[in-house]
Structure 1
Amino acid sequence: MKVKKKIVLIEDDLALGISIVEILAFNNYDVEWFKDGAETITYFKKNICDLIISDFMMPTMNGEELFLKIHKEIKKNSIPFIIITANIDEGIKYRQLENGVNDYLTKPFKTKELLYKIKNILDFKQNIVKKFTPDPFSKVTIKLSQKDFILSLNEILLKTMKSKIDTTELSKRLFMSKSTLDKKIRKHTNKNTSQYIREFKLEYAIKLINLGEKNIQFLVDETGFNSFSYFSTSFKSYTRISAREYIKALKV
């Protein structure tokens, strides 16, 4: 049986909330509905979902504040986020997009618009997972020839991307000393181990951007860089332009 995608809705308007829950349930989504931001924050301290849809104008905590708390404080920044609003000026709208909100809906909106935006975001997320998940049947055995050495190296780096793997752990997983690892990487790539790991992470970030990701903090977290500033400096050194400039250039 196909597992239903879980959506969290935050909407204080009861009539609209009921309507959205019914629409999503009818279209085979599993929905958790909250009426305010405080309840939502408590929920996300122990739970996760596939997509968040939040009203912008709410008492005590608006949609922007909720987004920042979920993505920055609770670190659930891999969950796509859609803002719903009745009236939003250009400055506020652009600020939400700059913060990293994936999309927004202006009230009143059509049911089809809501469903299409949900589908597009979830499909995009799934495509990223498929694209970067190693095929378990791609190699029956691992013999560390030049080709298989690089494949094995890349597979380990991909699986440990967020854990900030160092050269000591990497050499252990490849059953060789640190010096042997460094020699093999230099031989096959003309790079030292640290440079290869850093550039592998940056290439992964670039692929995510090319697939549509524009939240730089998300890229930092996904690639396991120690800090936002280190990622930014490394990205600019590698590509000759900043991550923001690279993202903007794709929109032109």
Structure 2
Amino acid sequence: MKSQKKNIILIEDDLALGSSISELLSLSNFNVNWLVDGIKALEYLKTNTPDIIISDLMMPNMNGEELYINIKKNNKFNTIPFIVITANMDDEVKFKQLENGVNDYIMKPFKSKELILKVRNLLDLKTNIEKKFKPDPFSKVTIKLSEKDFITSLNEYILKNLKSKIGIEELSNQLFISKSTLDKKIRKHTQKNSSQYIREFKLQYAIRLIDLGERNVQHLVNETGFNSFSYFSTSFKSYVGLSTRDYIKSIKDKI
């Protein structure tokens, strides 16, 4: 059975380069929708959800950075990888994009193999994370349906809003229960209070990203929605028993 082609949105105003990249991706077995500016991309995304987004940084009307910030305002795009293409060699420009949360960037001129490998690696990472966080239908653990629905709904909401600060009141409203009932149900099933459960869920996500190859600590902070680098680092060390960098080093040493 053939695997379904992944859908890529390419935003590139240079017609010659856009045509070349689009053809390259199509030949590599991807479905490609090529748009020439950020405004058209936002319109397209209102009714379409791609598997990955590739955008030039410098464009008229709306540049790649503005496009990324606008896209990430919508929670449904939180888990979609975003690659920036740029000819700007300035480190500050590159670092700013990474701090914003973009997953990777490619410097012009680039080798076609580099682009394809980065696209495939990010898509594989996204797929692996989704698989790990989906409930296992063949789990041997038997729990009541109502309990399973509650934990599943809780985890799905946290995952979809991972980059945001998740408030207890907002979470209880989404699950249609009071704040006190939410806390009681979480304590009953996990022996943790609501804030602890959310924090440790985010930390578990960060650990899985590290285990899958992520090494940029600031990216981990961005992906898990912690208020600050220092709060993430303190929480991580308290939960794991190692600093983030020491944990990453321990993973490297095992390889």
Find 2:155's aligned residue among 150, 154, 158: 158
Instruction: Report deviation, 1:165.
Output: 4.5
Query: 1:33-55 CA deviation, whole Å, 9 max, x = no partner?
Result: 00111101111122210111111
How far, CA to CA, are the matches of 2:68 and 2:30 in structure 1?
Answer: 21
Corresponding residue of 2:126:
125
* Counterpart-to-counterpart distance in 2, 1:97 and 1:183: 37
Cα gap change, 1:65/1:51 in structure 2, threshold over 3 Å: closer, same or farther? same
Q: 2:166 is matched with which residue?
A: none
- Give the aligned CA root-mean-square deviation in angstroms: 3.8
Structure 2 Cα separation of the partners of residues 182 and 57 of structure 1: 47
**Unpaired stretches in structure 2, ≥5 consecutive residues:** 162-169
Structure whose CA Rg is larger: 1
Residue equivalent to 2:206: 206
SS in 1 for 2:72: helix
Does the C-alpha gap of structure 1 residues 44 and 248 become closer, same or farther in structure 2, counting only changes over 3 Å?
A: farther
CA distance in 2: counterparts of 1:246 and 1:126, whole angstroms:
24
Q: Deviations over 1:107-140 (max 9, x none)?
A: 1111111110101110011110111112101138
Structure 1: distance between partners of 2:187 and 2:46: 44
- Provide the residue aligned with 1:60 in structure 2: 61
SS in structure 1 opposite 2:89? coil
Distance 1:204 1:125 in 2: 16
Q: Identify unmatched segments of 5+ residues in structure 1.
A: 221-227
After superposition, where does 1:147-226 map in structure 2 within 5 Å? 155=152, 157-161=154-158, 162=160, 165-166=171-172, 181=185, 184-185=188-189, 191-195=191-195, 197-210=197-210, 211=212, 212=214, 214=219, 216-220=221-225
Query: Quick check: 1:86 aligned with 2:87?
Result: yes
**AA at the equivalent of 2:13:** D
Distance 1:80 1:248, change over 3 A: farther
Return closer, same or farther for 1:69/1:209 CA change in 2, 3 Å cut-off: same
Deviations 1:168-206 (A, max 9, x none): 95999xxxx889857745xxx6x4542553344233343
Cα gap change, 1:112 to 1:137, in 2 (>3 Å): same
Q: Which deviates the most, 50-59 or 198-207?
A: 198-207
Q: What is the TM-score with the length of structure 1 in the denominator?
A: 0.72
Aligned to 2:15: 14
Q: Give the secondary structure class of the aligned counterpart of 1:52.
A: strand
Quick check: 1:50–1:122 contact (8 Å CA) kept in 2?
A: yes
- CA deviations 1:20-41 (Å, max 9, x no partner) are 1111111110000001111011
The TM-score, its normalising length taken from structure 2, stands at 0.72
What is the count of residue pairs matched by the alignment?
A: 228
Kept in 2: contact 1:85–1:105 (CA 8 A): yes
How far apart are the structure 1 equivalents of 2:84 and 2:246?
22
SS state at 1:84 partner: strand
Match of 1:110 in 2: 111
In structure 2, the residue corresponding to 1:97 is in which secondary structure? helix
Any idea what SS the aligned residue of 1:72 has? coil
How far residue 232 of structure 1 moved from its aligned partner, in angstroms, is 7.9
